[in-house]
């Protein structure tokens, strides 16, 4: 379970960052940055904070609501499918994280240090550390993973109203059977990541026809 042990290695305001949506074929990649200024959370929040992938959708929604009501400093950013195609998914993920951190600083106060889930470091002006499986180790990163995941799922549910055939409200843009079937029937839409191989192949096949 996550703790504040990693945060306590550093001084000042420590932000945890994580993203959701690197794997899907459509939609934005969404990132969150979360600080617990007093490194203290309620028992209710402590009971539900974990790596978002280890929580059910209902548990994530509850954790999200508790986080939004807490004294945590929260920022959210995203990079569009077009930006992902332009710069690649890794750089787009870092761009979304940077936007989340900038939003957090605009709303609250400057960040002293950033903890990033993963094993890659971006070229930021903030000092930072990459933590492998950080969403299972750090409260700040775990909270960011929940905010990012729930926010992105809600975005995809809204986009599904515009393009219902792809069933994004159920698959969040991942390459499920229903998504593949819709792509074969209708082709990609503006929210698809055209640099991703399955979408590239779909466009190629449609051109061949």
User: Which CATH number does the domain housing residue 149 bear?
Assistant: 3.30.420.10
Domain total of the chain: 1
Q: Find, among 48, 50, 44, 9, the residue nearest to 140 by Cα.
A: 50
Q: Is residue 158 part of a domain?
A: yes
41 secondary structure, DSSP code: -
| Residue pLDDT tens, the chain, 209 long | 899 999 999 999 999 999 999 999 999 999 999 999 998 888 999 888 887 788 899 999 999 999 999 999 999 999 999 999 999 999 999 999 999 999 999 999 999 999 999 999 999 999 999 999 999 999 999 999 999 999 999 999 999 999 999 999 999 999 999 999 999 999 999 999 999 999 999 888 876 65
Asked if residue 208 is part of any domain, the answer here is no
Residues with Cβ within 8 Å of residue 139, at least 6 apart in sequence? 2, 3, 4, 7, 16, 36, 39, 41, 49
Whether 94 maps to a domain, the answer reads yes
DSSP 54-119: GS-HHHHHHHHHHHHHSS-EEEEEEE-HHHHHHH-HHHHHHHHHHHHHHHHHHHS---SEEEEESS
Please indicate, yes or no, if residue 36 is contained in any of the structural domains.
Answer: yes
158 and 144 in contact (C-beta within 8 Å)? no
Tokens of 146: 């929940």
Contacts of 161 (CB under 8 A, 6+ apart): none
Cα dihedral value 119, 124, 125, 131, nearest 10:
-20
The tokens for 48 are 């539900």
- Asked if residue 209 is part of any domain, the answer here is no
Chain-centre distance for alpha carbon 86: 19
Domain of residue 179, residue span:
7-201
Q: Residue 107 falls within a domain, yes or no?
A: yes
């Amino acid at each position: 379970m996550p703790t504040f042990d990693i945060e306590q290695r550093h001084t000042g305001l420590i932000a945890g960052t994580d993203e959701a949506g690197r794997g899907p074929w459509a939609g934005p990649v969404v990132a969150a940055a979360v600080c617990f200024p007093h490194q203290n959370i309620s028992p209710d929040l402590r009971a539900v904070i974990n790596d978002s992938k280890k929580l059910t959708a209902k548990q994530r929604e509850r954790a999200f609501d508790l986080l939004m009501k807490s004294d945590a400093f929260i920022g959210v950013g995203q990079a569009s499918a077009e930006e992902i195609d332009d710069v690649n998914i890794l750089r787009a993920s870092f761009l979304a994280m940077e936007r989340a951190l900038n939003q957090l600083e605009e709303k609250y106060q400057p960040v002293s240090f950033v903890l990033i889930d993963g094993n890659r470091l971006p070229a930021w002006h903030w000092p930072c550390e990459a933590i492998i499986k950080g969403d299972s180790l750090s409260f700040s990163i775990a909270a960011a993973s929940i905010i990012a995941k729930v926010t992105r799922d809600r975005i995809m549910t809204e986009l599904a109203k515009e393009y219902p055939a792809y069933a994004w409200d159920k698959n969040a843009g991942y390459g499920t059977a229903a998504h593949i079937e819709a792509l074969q029937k209708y082709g990609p839409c503006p929210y698809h990541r055209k640099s991703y191989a399955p979408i590239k192949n779909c466009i190629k096949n449609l051109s061949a026809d």
